[in-house]
């Protein structure tokens, strides 16, 4: 469990969180909404998204569902952002969290045959290119609000160890994209990221038992741990842009 005592007052703020029906995305959407923001929750259409939105609304939180896949290109991303902006009446924070391992089991770096053209295309479109299209689409309204963009990267961007080499490469590219978008959208919009380590969530890829011997804090990161960092970069950190904050319990120190 997270033991953070930090509280935010985000009444009147509007946020769009992608991949927010589970894990880090859900933790982030929940924290934003509990802090007073109105939150558009994006995920693939289906019962999971509907159930999450219904549950949060039952708790009195101001959330709306914005179903759709971020990996379908520029037009789909623009439509998704426009729908969220219409529902929210504007936008202050964009959290690019949606991602896919595109595999149920870890693909070792030596197994090049499993890294097909279709596999690469799916990984890059969802985990990397979508961030550009989503951010580009949201840029005009975020400039009006002097808002912020936060992207979920991965510690595998810095040393591998992800679900596949393609996944790690895509996340490494995302680090570079964050820096370029930060330059492109300054000074009105800040663009940052977090690089999560171990996560206690229903991630599509099975990593087996977590090895806590490499984690100084001796526990697996919870979604709310990562949400703390994301919301900090959204609502605080006024002089931080183009940076990626490693959040992994000290595993890479």
Q: What is the pLDDT of residues 153-197, one digit of tens each?
A: 999 999 988 899 999 999 999 999 999 999 999 999 999 999 999
Q: What is the pLDDT of residues 202-221, one digit of tens each?
A: 766 566 676 788 899 999 99
Distances from the Cα of 125 to the Cα of 100, 166, 168, 171, 187, angstroms: 10, 11, 14, 12, 28
Q: What is the pLDDT of residues 68-89, one digit of tens each?
A: 999 999 999 999 999 999 999 9
Q: What is the pLDDT of residues 30-66, one digit of tens each?
A: 999 999 999 999 999 999 999 999 999 999 999 999 9
- H-type alpha helices, 102-155: 117-124, 130-145
- List residues with catalytic annotation: 167
Per-residue confidence band for 1, with pLDDT thresholds at 50, 70 and 90 = very low
Per-residue confidence band for 253, with pLDDT thresholds at 50, 70 and 90 = confident
CATH node for 14-247: 3.40.50.720
Residue 96: which region, alpha, beta or left (left: phi > 0; alpha: psi -120 to 50)? beta
């Amino acid at each position: 469990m997270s033991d953070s005592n930090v509280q935010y007052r985000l009444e009147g703020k509007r946020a769009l969180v992608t991949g927010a029906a589970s894990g880090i995305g859900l933790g982030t959407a929940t924290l934003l909404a509990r802090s007073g923001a109105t939150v558009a929750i994006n995920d693939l259409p289906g019962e999971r998204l509907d159930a999450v939105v219904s549950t949060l609304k039952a708790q009195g939180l101001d959330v709306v569902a914005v179903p759709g896949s971020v990996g379908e290109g520029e037009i789909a991303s623009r439509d998704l952002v426009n729908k969220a902006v219409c529902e929210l009446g504007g936008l202050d924070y964009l959290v690019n969290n949606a991602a896919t391992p595109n595999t149920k089991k870890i693909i070792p770096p030596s197994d090049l045959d499993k890294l097909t053209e279709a596999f690469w295309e799916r990984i890059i479109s969802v985990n990397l290119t979508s961030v550009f299209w989503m951010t580009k689409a949201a840029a005009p309204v975020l400039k009006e609000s002097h808002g912020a963009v936060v992207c979920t990267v991965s510690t595998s961007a810095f040393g591998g160890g992800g679900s596949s080499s393609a996944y790690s490469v895509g996340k490494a590219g995302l680090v570079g994209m964050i820096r370029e978008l930060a330059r492109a959208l300054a000074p009105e919009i800040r663009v940052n990221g977090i690089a999560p380590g171990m996560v206690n969530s229903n991630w599509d890829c099975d990593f087996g038992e977590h090895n806590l011997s490499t984690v100084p804090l001796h526990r697996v990161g919870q979604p709310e741990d990562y949400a703390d960092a994301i919301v900090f970069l959204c609502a605080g950190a006024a002089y931080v842009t183009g940076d990626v904050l490693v959040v992994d319990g000290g595993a890479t120190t």
